[in-house]
Chains A and B, each alone.
Chain A
Amino acid sequence: MFSFRNKSIVKLAVILTLSIVASGCGSDSEVPSAAGSSSAAATTAAPGTTAAPKATAAPAEPAEVEPLVIAVGTEPSTLDAQAVNDRNSRVFTANVYETLLTRTADGELVSGLATGYEAIVPNVAPLVIAVGTEPSTLDAQAVNDRNSRVFTANVYETLLTRTADGELVLGLASSYEAFDEDTWRFTLRDGVSFHDGSAFDADSAAYSINRMLDEDYETQRSSYIKNIVGAEAVDSSTVDIHTNGVNAVLPMQVAQLPMVPNGAGAELNELPVGTGPYMFDSWDRGQSITAVVNPNYWGLAPSIQAFEIRVIPDSQTQLSALQAGEVDLILDILPEQTELAPAFKSVAATEFSFVHLDTRKENLSDPRVRIAMNMAIDKELMAETLYGGFARPNQAQHLSETMLGYNPDVKMFPYDPEGAKALLAEAGHADGFPLTIHVGVGRYLRSEESAEYIAQALTEIGLPTTVKLWEWNEFRSASRVKAPEPEAMDMAYKWNSNEWFDAARMTSFATIGGKSNKLWNEDVTALFEAGAKTLDQEERHRLYQDAWALIHENPHAIYLLQQDLIYGMSERLDWDPRLDDEYLISGMSLLS
């Protein structure tokens, strides 16, 4: 190591000496002259160690030679090397100060004042994330609930992916295009391999998509394979995905289709194999799942070396485990728990709460009635009281500002109970009529309290409203019934999430054929269907904006809030929550 240091001093001396001869004074282009002289230096210094005594002798007799003069354009503001870093200063300071490590003339990092060095990787305990429900399988293609994704999204990857703020970007694909009317063509990244060592290629990509399309394959991701007919490998790094007619949302769907090895089957349930930055390590059923970093990962190596998903069903126990330092991240805490957690962060989620109105119910058929109902609700009050400020009023379109199709001209309905009463009278309902708001319990934060408030607010404008609570799965079945069926609900308290960041996610609510539709509007349907068939993004944006403008005049919902997700975190965890409800460990780090 000392020899390195000596050699660099030798070279420095040689370069300085040569600089005198070669470039004289005048040069302010430090880099080229150094680079140019380094080849010359190589010949002079070729004898190596024999040259050393001569060279070290040179600065030892300064009196006999005129001092070297270097001109700089700007005077260094200070001679404190730690303070400045401009070239004019460095010309001086780099010759006066030294560093622990330095560089050879051709840029190689070598020992400076240090005789040697090594990276001491601190023995940091793995990151631990608590989930309330254990993933039922580790096959990412089968399930899509958040508790599963916390694990699978770190192990599996997709052709396209999203940045932390929701922008769709390339994942395992290196490029993609709409090839023709019913084909999207994806070119795959080179040099990617699965955790089992097999190569990620077009065959595995095509297999992955076709596996999910299989009639016998049970998957929760069925909405992501809608209008996909099949996939085929064109060559080893190109795969075509065939769609049922023009499918403009295919890139968004592809971002949710995890890639698995060619021929993979049921073994993925317990032994997941993906291409992601982390590899499956162990699964202690009922308790925890662990993963370690993938040393052969094609992308940037993550800083966290291992993580554990720990199953803790009770939310109070989760908070205790966080306080006791056993876990680093819990996914949902209540607004009032934020002061109990060692640290917390919140992010505006892509989730929107609303009361879904069945526009075919006789009393609700007049749009003015539905607008009046919107005006009865004080959303600001709800956000402040029920959610402790961790929510904001929804701008009447199930979208937030950055999403495709958001219409900035559509404004929140104002809180105006008197205006609401007038509007009801205008619509011929001055005497009001009774209503029931249906709520599935135990699913969404503060759903019962919200429904109670809404019922009270509607009662105040002359629509006496009662709240009916349902067990969650029963609610899901019952809320599928629509008018004119007599048991169809007047009003159902619902949430929707828009992890596509795109108005197309609302298609099933807005189009007449859609499963969740209670609007029955042909013009809106036409606009949404056109949006699904249009590849030009600007044009799509405009189509959906027009649709929201129409829906605003004829609302199918009482728009409520856009909710924050609040995360309880340990003090050592450094992470900014993502907008898309994904938990990528590669984007986290641990302070020790």
Chain B
Amino acid sequence: MRWSNRGSSSVDGKEPQLETAPDFPSRQPIMGVVVRRVRDGAITLLIVVTVIFTLAHVVGNPAIAYAPIDASDEEVALIEHQFGLDRPFTVRYFEYLGDLATGDFGESNWQKRPALDAVREAVPATIQLTLAGILVAGLFGSVGGLLAGISPNSLFDRVTNFFSVAALSVPNFWLGLLLIVVFAVNLGWFPTSGRYGWSSIVLPAATLGIVHGGRIFQLVRSATVEEISKPYVVVARSKGFSMPVVVGRHVLRNTGLTMATTVGWEYVRMWGGAAFAIEYVFAWPGIGLLMINGANRQDFFVLQSAVIVAGAFVILSNLVIDLFYNLIDRRINSAG
């Protein structure tokens, strides 16, 4: 690991917790970091907007999707006019950017209301699902990975390792369907789908948690295995410190960054699409379902709004993760 190599200079038998780091650059002013990252995020978002707008308008014609199947050319033309599609692409694009700047995300042709209303209703469900999912994934991956990593090739390691590889190898929707059949249909412990109370989040969160936790497990485990084979651990052990003490005081400090990185990264992956497949399987009314409907109906303003909001969450999550690093590890210079 990039950071732990630099950080392992403390292996000299001193009490590591007394370690100071005089040779590190002084920390950047945090506000400066935030401003720069927000600026970068805004540029990224503009690219996202442009790509999704272009893709959506190149791929299809929403008037065709809306019109009855035997509609005449005149009927289609009328719907194009009603939807404002009879104006040039560039006009529509810059008009859209201008509207976005004023907080207007456009009107849904199908829902006949502001597209942002639809997204605003759906976002809490997605936040809830992804947070529950990352909680499960973080516990399974971090705790499991750490325990497996400190005793490589033990029975526990082999069993959990097998399960984590299996978990990250299966498609998440397939695992979701499997859990539904076992725990909802056969055992009847949880509802199959929907968002009707605490019990309905268990299966979708477990699905996300298992798949993403499997990946966290792998990275945390290998980081831990690498860390405990380092000389400082051997020295500490030879001085009579028990394994839990060594791990708790020293190893965890270095693998902790790996955990934070992978947990953060997996959370971003959920917003990048993984959670949306789970929403579809479990009929979880989040923005993933909204995107799928928006794409099928070519209801562009809903699709675009959902993608922009999801993109914003990805950028925001990355920002939070960066700032978090900056706080927990002074060696990382987020401005860099």
Contact = CB atoms under 8 A, between A and B. Distances in A.
B108 A144 contact: no
A550 B189 CA distance: 62
Contacts of A216: 82
A531 B3 CA distance: 82
Interface string A124-154: 0000000001101101001110000000000
Contact of A144 (B68, B72, B113, B298): B68
Contact of B188 (A285, A324, A471): A324
Interface residues of B, number: 55
Interface in B2-21: none
Given A320-B180, A321-B192, A473 B68 contact: no
B79 interface: yes
Contact of A137 (B73, B110, B180): B110
Given A223-B70, A326-B192, A286 B289 contact: yes
Contact of B72 (A143, A310, A515): A515
Contacts of A509: 70
A326 B199 CA distance: 14
A87 interface: no
B184 A311 contact: no
Interface string A260-282: 00000010011000000000000
Contacts of B66: 218, 220
B113 A269 contact: yes
Interface stretch (B33-41, B92-100, B141-149, B275-283): B275-283
A520 B328 CA distance: 76
A75 interface: no
A320 B192 contact: yes
Contacts of A286: 121-122, 125, 195, 285-286, 289-290
A137 B71 contact: no
B57 interface: no
A134 B293 contact: yes
A313 B280 contact: yes
A477 interface: yes
Contacts of A508: 70, 72
Given A287-B195, A473-B64, A317 B281 contact: yes
A324 B184 contact: yes
A323 interface: yes
A220 B59 contact: no
A326 B122 CA distance: 23
Interface in B161-207: 173, 177, 180-181, 184-185, 188, 191-196
Contacts of A326: 191-193
Range class of the A interface residue count = 35 or more
A531 B252 CA distance: 83
B309 to A, nearest CB: 15
A321 B67 contact: no
B283 A317 contact: yes
Contacts of B70: 223, 508-509, 514-516
A342 to B, nearest CB: 11
A312 B193 contact: yes
A476 B64 contact: yes
A221 interface: yes
A284 B284 CA distance: 12
Contacts of B196: 287
Contacts of B192: 317, 320-321, 324, 326
A515 to B, nearest CB: 5
Nearest to B286: A286
B87 interface: no
State the majority secondary structure of interface residues on A: loop
A288 B283 CA distance: 10
B68 A222 contact: yes
B54 interface: no
A222 B67 contact: yes
Given A317-B283, A320-B180, A220 B82 contact: no
A221 B194 contact: no
Nearest to A224: B68
Contacts of B78: 215, 222
Interface in A204-224: 215-216, 218, 220-223
Given A222-B71, A287-B285, A142 B60 contact: no
B68 A221 contact: yes
A66 interface: no
Given A323-B185, A515-B73, A314 B280 contact: yes
Given A285-B118, A317-B283, A324-B184, A310 B194 contact: yes
A474 interface: yes
Interface in B63-115: 64-73, 75, 78-79, 82-83, 108-113
Contacts of A317: 177, 180, 192-193, 281-283
A133 B299 CA distance: 13
Interface string B293-319: 100111100000000000000000000
A316 B293 contact: no
A499 to B, nearest CB: 12
16 contacts: A136-B108, A136-B111, A218-B66, A269-B112, A285-B118, A288-B194, A310-B283, A312-B193, A314-B177, A320-B185, A323-B185, A471-B59, A474-B60, A508-B72, A514-B70, A516-B70
Interface of A: 133-134, 136-137, 139, 142-144, 215-216, 218, 220-223, 266, 269-270, 284-288, 310-314, 316-317, 320-321, 323-324, 326, 471, 473-474, 476-477, 480, 496, 508-509, 514-516
4 nearest A-B residue pairs (beta carbon): A286-B285, A136-B110, A508-B70, A312-B283
Given A317-B180, A320-B185, A473-B64, 11 more contacts: A136-B108, A136-B111, A144-B68, A222-B71, A285-B118, A285-B285, A314-B173, A320-B181, A321-B192, A326-B193, A474-B59
